Structure 1
């Protein structure tokens, strides 16, 4: 009986450790001043409310999934261009967020133009007030670390393009997008920020979908 109890305790310990390693709670996307990985929200008690709301999702944004963070006002981010690029990325700026790619949701914080605590529908416990975090968040709540991608994406991996069999044929150096893990990383058949990043899980820093040791994330799509 004692051995069974010890084994059960070990299973619970492993399970709880796995939860901690695979949760937004305590990660850099947790903005609570008390307990958050980016402790900028003084008085903020909610973790999820910065990005999501269960009720009254922003009508101006009209963006799934129940989006709550104020949208960026950047109208044009530009697109990456290269003579070796066979994909056709399109600009994610210049239209209401509800008609945009999900990558616009990421840029509502990561273009560095809007406070990370800017919410359409603050939680009942309050939105909190900004406390600067040295080297990461300034007094206005803007990202100032290298997580600030700026308002131009012309020098970043292309996003907002269709990744399908036709692209694989044209490129000659890409893997079949219909099989895992690629199939689970695409958004409606397109490459977006979330094709490489998992915003709720920082187990693979920085919020990667899988390890990039030996460029594993890169070669999941690219044949090299």
Structure 2
């Protein structure tokens, strides 16, 4: 069976309606275009994200169901709390975004990663434009993990997590959830469910429900200091 997949124009940043995404492969919506800051911002505001491997064209996705965290319900495991008390990792926000993105790429073989050189460059540019943010976890002076993603109003669209040492990405998520809530955040998007996300408490919601969240939250304001470069603490 032949499937029709729209090709994006380089002359504008318009996307097809996410409701037109394929059921198989789940959420594939379009291909082509570029990874400019304007196009990426437009994509995330519509619940669309790029995801492709080396040797493939840029592929754009909007899957259903959508994996998300409800930050106000996130509770760290007792073992994680005990671990952090013992190791006292330092957690920061936007202290080393480009380095953290690079770390996410470097910890995966080329044949297994979607963080291509093109993607690296694009998200670093998005960070410089103030839309991509990172949570870094430090053991002394060493960056040992964290997460990064894209801010869309009161929603944070997580892109990738990494741990070089045990529990680093879990601690990043824990600290960020508390910080995010306290600054007006409502929802953390994590795109597609996997066992690791499920173990941390992610849930799945229909694409239509996620789109409703976007419409309500993408133009809503956060506390202005939310994404200032700072150290994060648990209250």
TM-score category (smaller protein): under 0.3
**TM-score, reference length from structure 2:** 0.25
Structure 1 length as normaliser, TM-score? Answer: 0.26
Q: Which has the higher strand share?
A: 2
Larger Rg: 1
Higher helix share: 2
- Larger RCO: Structure 1 or Structure 2 (Cα < 8 Å, ≥ 6 residues apart)? 2
